[in-house]
Amino acid sequence: MSIFFLHPLYLLGLVAASLPILIHLLNRRKLKRIRFPAVRFILLSQKRISRSYRLRHWLLLALRTLAVVFLALLLANPIFQTGAGLFAGGGPVSLVILLDNSLSMTWSADGNGFKQAKEAARFLIASLNDGDRAALIPTNLTGKEPFRLKGEKEVLFKELERIEIADGTANISAALTKAYELLNEPAGQKEIRLITDMGLTGWDQFSTSSLKQYDPSIPLKTIRTGKQQQPLNGTIKEVRLASQGVGVNLPLRFEATVANFGVSEIKDALVQLSIDGQNKEQKLTSIPSRGEAAVSFQTQLTQAGPHVGRVSLKKDGLAGNNAVHFGLDAQDKLRILVVDGDPQTSLVQSETFFLIRALNPAGEQDSSLYLPTVIIADGLNATSLEPYQVVILCNLSSLPDSLVPKLQNYLRQGGGLLIFGGDRVQMENYNLKLAQSSPPLLPAPLREKKLGPEAGGEKIDRFDVAHPALQGFSDPILLDSIKSARVWGYSRTTAPGKSALISLANGDPLLIEQKVGAGRVIFFSTSADRDWSDLPVKTAYLPLIQSLTNYLAGGKRGAMDPGITVGNPKEFSLPPSYVGKSLKIIKPNKQEVEVPLAPDKDRASATFQENDRAGIYRLSLPVGGEKESGMPLLYAANSPFLESRLDEISESELQAKLKPIPVEVISIDSLQQGGTRMDLALPLLGLLIVTLLTEGWLAQRI
C-alpha cells in the first residue's frame, strides 16, 4: 500500500500553503490608521460579534490554506495504490521490469521460480494501459542489448518469451543502471519492478556506488518468487588435476570437491566423471550439511589433443548446479635431447643424473610425460634436432661450429633450448657462438665464473611467479623450497638482474630467457647437477625442470584447463599473421560467433565477452594463419559456484544495500491477487471545490 505522485515537482506548491497565513500576518503589520470619532461604536460592535467573528475568521484562514494544499496535491496528482500491479487510473506509466534470470531461479519456488517470474512479468505487461510504455531487462545482461521503452505489448511478450535462464550471476548493477537510464527521459509515473528469488549471490558485491546512474525518487519494488521448501542444496565446488600433466596413456587423476549448502546431509549422491561424453567412473558419496566432501577419479587418455571433461553430481530433488566442465589438452610424450658435457662413469656423478630423474622419476618409459634421450657432446653433430621438442645442454665446454646454425634453425621453428652452466663451460666460446651470433642465442654475454665454498652460497631471492614458465610456483611450499637452495657456483652474465626469471640474493641472474623466432632459449647459469648448487636435491627441482621443459616445448600442453566463470571474458592471443581475420567460436548451445582478431603489440588478440552459457566453447582458427603450437582449441565456462547457494537476502539487508533508493518487497502472491490503484485527483478536485465554495460563502458572511 503506497501513495505516489505523478508530478511530484508540484508538491513544492505546498510551500504556498503558508501564503494565506503570511498575508494575514502582513496585513496585520500593514495596518491602515484612521482617526475616527465613533470608536466607541466600533468597540461595541466588536464586543457583540467577537466570538463568532473570530471563529469564522480562523475558519476562513484554515479554508484558504486548505485550498492551496488541495490545489498543490491536485497538480502533483497523487495515486493511492495497494498491491504491486499496475491498474487503471493515473497518467502514462513508464515501467522497467527487471527479470532475474540467474541460475538460482532454476531451483527457487520448488523449481517454478523462473516460471513464476515470467508469469509475473507477463501480468505486469498485460496491466499496461494505452500510453504506458515498458522495457524488459534480464538481470544477466551483457550490456550490449539495445533496451528501450515501448508500448507494444505483443513485442514485450515476445521479448519475455525469449529470456532464458542464464548460467551466470545476476548483474544487478548493470541492470539497475540501465533501468534508471531508460527512466531518465520520460515524464509521468516511473516504475521499476524487480522480479527475483532474492538469491544472495548477485547482491554480495552490490553497492549503490557501483550504479552509474540512479534516482532515489523512483523506488525499487521487488517482487519475490515463492519460497522453496528447504531442498537438498549441493553442487560441485571444483575439479582439479591430481596427477602431473595430462599425457597420452598416462594415469590421469582428478579430485572433485562437492559442497552441501543445505541444512540436511546429502546422502548417497552420485558423482560421475565423463571424458568426451563417455562415462569414465562414478562414485557414491555423502556430504555433511554445510560441508564438503572430496571424490577422486582415475582414468587414462589414449589420444593426444584436446578433450572435454565433466564431473556431475546426481541426486533426486537436488537443487544446485550439477556439473562442472573442464578442458584437457593431452599430449604425446615430450621428446627431450639431453647433451651431457661432463659424462662420468658413475651414473650418480653424471652431470645429467638429477635432470633425468626430474624428467622421469620412475625411470620407466610409460610412467612419465617426458622422454629424455641423453647423448654426449660428440654425438651432437650426428644427431638431428627435429624429433625433439626441447634440447638441454648441460655443462658443454664448447659448441661445435656446425651446431650454431642448426640450433638457430631449430629455434626459429619453435624449438626450445635449455642451457645449463658448469665448470667446463668456456665462456669465450659461448659468447662467440651464442651471444654474438645473429640472431643471438644468449640474452647476454657471460662475464666470469663465480665459484665459492658451498657454505657461502648465495640464496635465491627473486622469483617471477607471473612468468608462464614459473606459474606453478605460487604454491608456498615450492616457493620455500626453491628459496632454501644455495648456489655457490655460476656463470655471471651482464644481463640486468631485473629481467631475470630467477635471481640470486646478490642480484645476479640465475635464469634468463631469450626468444629466437618461434622458439625460446633459457640459460640456467648454474650447473644441472649438484656441483655448483644444492638445487637438484630440493623438492622444487622436479617441478621446476618439468615446468621449464613444458614452457620451452610450447606452452601449456599436457594440462587441465578448469575454464572460466560464466559471464567473464575470454582472451585469445595468436601469432600476428591472424590480424584482420576472425576467430570462430561455437558456444555450448551450438551458436556460432565470429570474433575479429585485432593487432595487439606483436600479436593478434581478441576478447570474447559472450560467455553466458555453461559448457564447452570450441574454437576454429581461420585459415591462412600459421599454426600456433599450444593454442588450446576449446575451453570450458562454468556457472559461479555460489550461484547454487539458495540463501536469500532479507528485505532489511536489501534496503540497506540500496540506500538511498527506497525498496519495497512484495510477494508474488500479492501481485497475482491484484491490488487497486486509485487516482486521487478527482476526490481532491471535489475537496477543492467544496473548500472554495465554503470559503466564498463564509467570506460573504464576514
Partner 1 sequence: MTNDEKNYFDPKVLAGISNLYLRARWVVEGMMSGVHRSRSKGFSVEFEEHREYSPGDEIRRIDWKALGKFDRYFIKEYEDETNLRAYLLVDTSGSMDYASDGITKFDYGCTLAASLAYLILRQQDAAGVVTFSDHIEAFIPPKAKRDYLLQILHALENRGPGGETNVGRILEEIAGQIKRRGLVVLVSDLLDEPEKILKGLRLFRFKGNDVIVFHLLDPAELSLPFDGNILFEDLEELNLRVVADPRAIRKTYREVVEEFTSRMRQECHDNIIDYQLISTSTPLDRALASYLSWRG
Q: Write phi, then psi, for 700 (nearest 5 degrees).
A: -65, -40
Q: In angstroms, rounded to a whole number, what is the distance separating the alpha carbons of residues 251 and 246?
A: 8
Which CB, 31 or 623, lies closer to partner 1?
31
Which CB, 45 or 650, lies closer to partner 1?
45
* Least separation in angstroms between CB 54 and partner 1: 9
Which CB, 27 or 279, lies closer to partner 1?
27
Q: What DSSP state is assigned to residue 299?
A: E
In angstroms, the Cα distances linking 434 to 327, 412, 548 are: 39, 14, 20
In angstroms, the Cα distances linking 343 to 166, 352, 397, 523 are: 62, 8, 12, 20
Contact 111, 46 (CB under 8 A): no
Question: Grid coordinates representing 23?
Answer: 498575508
Residue count at the site for partner 1 (CB under 8 A)? 23
Which CB, 53 or 80, lies closer to partner 1?
53
Q: In angstroms, rounded to a whole number, what is the distance separating the alpha carbons of residues 566 and 94?
A: 32
* Least separation in angstroms between CB 60 and partner 1: 10
Q: Strands across the sheet with 278-287, in order?
A: 278-287, 266-275, 305-314, 323-330, 559-561
Which CB, 149 or 698, lies closer to partner 1?
698
* Least separation in angstroms between CB 57 and partner 1: 7
* Least separation in angstroms between CB 88 and partner 1: 47
* Least separation in angstroms between CB 7 and partner 1: 37
DSSP codes joined into one string, 304-336: -EEEEEEEEEE-TTEES--EEEEEEEEBPPEEE
Which CB, 49 or 682, lies closer to partner 1?
49
x/- string (CB under 8 A) for partner 1, residues 489-528? ----------------------------------------
* Least separation in angstroms between CB 702 and partner 1: 5
Q: Write phi, then psi, for 696 (nearest 5 degrees).
A: -60, -45
* Least separation in angstroms between CB 16 and partner 1: 22
List, in sequence order, every residue forming a beta bridge with 687; answer none if it has no partner. none
* Least separation in angstroms between CB 699 and partner 1: 9
For 239-244, the CB contacts below 8 A with 24+ separation are: 239/309, 239/311, 239/324, 239/326, 239/562, 240/560, 240/562, 241/559, 241/560, 242/296, 244/369, 244/546
Which CB, 56 or 118, lies closer to partner 1?
56
Which CB, 37 or 624, lies closer to partner 1?
37
Q: In angstroms, rounded to a whole number, what is the distance separating the alpha carbons of residues 127 and 37?
A: 73
Which CB, 653 or 697, lies closer to partner 1?
697
* Least separation in angstroms between CB 15 and partner 1: 25
Return all residues near 54 (Cβ < 8 A) that are at least 6 apart.
Answer: none
Contact 608, 570 (CB under 8 A): yes
* Least separation in angstroms between CB 688 and partner 1: 25
DSSP codes joined into one string, 134-184: EEEEESS--S------B--HHHHHHHHHH----SS---HHHHHHHHHHHTT
For partner 1, the binding residues in 23-82 under the rule CB under 8 A are 27-28, 31-46, 48-49, 53, 57
Q: In angstroms, rounded to a whole number, what is the distance separating the alpha carbons of residues 508 and 327?
A: 39
Query: In terms of Cα–Cα distance, which of 377, 362, 374 is closest to 336?
Result: 374
Which CB, 29 or 148, lies closer to partner 1?
29
Q: Write phi, then psi, for 543 (nearest 5 degrees).
A: -65, -30
646: burial class by Cβ within 10 Å (0-12, 13-18, 19+)? buried
* Least separation in angstroms between CB 45 and partner 1: 4
Which CB, 340 or 695, lies closer to partner 1?
695
Where along the sequence are the contacts to partner 1 (CB under 8 A)?
27-28, 31-46, 48-49, 53, 57, 702
